[in-house]
Amino acid sequence: MIDVVIPGFDIALTADSGQCFRFLKLSPDNFRLIALGRRLDIGVLGEDRFAFSCTRGEFDTLWSPYFDLQEDYLRFRSLIPRDDAFLGAALRYAGGLRILRQAPFETLISFIISQRKTIQAIKGCVEALSRRFGDRIDEESFSFPGPEGLAKADLASLLACGLGYRSRYILATSRSVWEGRIDLEALSLLQDDALHLALCGLDGVGDKVAQCVMLFAYHRLAAFPRDVWVNRVIDREYGGSFPEHLYKGHAGVIQQYMFCYGRSAQWREMQKT
DNA sequence: GTCCAGGGTAAGC
DNA sequence: GCTTACCATGGA
């Protein structure tokens, strides 16, 4: 267990930001994450102070990159026009979140699952998949399965995880990865357009899922996923057209502020009046 | 009972 | 090129 100072970092917000479905909220100030084949517990000690259940070396080489802690998120704030009241409020609400650097396969499968599901439901499916096909980490923790485990699964087992019609997408895409028809590691060498095209060639992956995988796994900060929440914000606050061009190269970060604030009780309450 | 959720696909035009 | 019906599941 180590004690670290991370200015401006909000673990509660990041854990519930809809990027990753393997955060567990143990208490208001304690979180558990399964990632990188490990279990990590994070406690909030105070303003900008956190406890991580790992060594200093693991924090520096594994978790600091995972949480994108070397990036200066203050530089994204200066991109927001002063007269944009919505983004100003969104930043005050969600400015402490980070764009995670997650494993491509887990992110890919998780966002194929995500279609027409709530975040809670996605979490349930991902947990079920991990328990059935992943490796045991400890008494109660299981890693997300690799391509082999899912490629060799049968449809009935996938259906039993609550995946519904997405089961055949997950089987087909897992087989594409396992059989080497697509190399998720090699995709990191591609430019954004080529990466998007390659991802959209997979079963169950369209524009939105591809954008999520680009942003949350390949850290392409220009990717701009448009889901029902973001579209709702764009309709209500920007007359149906968001000026993405103002944030060239970093619109994905702005999108994530919009998503989190748009889902908040605070913004939703304002919409009722 | 109805509506909605971090959508994709294939058929139709 | 652009719409539209359909796809399972669970919770509000």
Question: Counting Cβ atoms within 10 Å, is residue A95 exposed (0-12), middle (13-18) or buried (19+)?
Answer: middle
Whether residue A208 lies in the annotated active site: yes
Å from A111 (CA) to B8 (C1')? 12
Is the confidence at residue A273, as pLDDT, over 80?
no
Q: Strand B closer than 7 Å to the CB of A204?
A: yes
Q: Residues 57-76, chain A: which have Cβ under 7 A from strand B?
A: none
Å from A164 (CA) to B1 (C1')? 22
Phi-psi group of A176: left, alpha or beta (phi > 0 → left; psi -120 to 50 → alpha; rest → beta): alpha
Residue A216: per-residue pLDDT: 98
Give the H or E element holding residue A38.
strand A38-46
pTM over 0.75: yes
By C1' distance from the Cα of A173, the closest nucleotide is B8
Instruction: Report the pLDDT averaged over residues A194-209.
Output: 98
Give the separation between CA A64 and CA A107, rounded to whole angstroms. Answer: 19
Q: Strand B closer than 7 Å to the CB of A99?
A: no
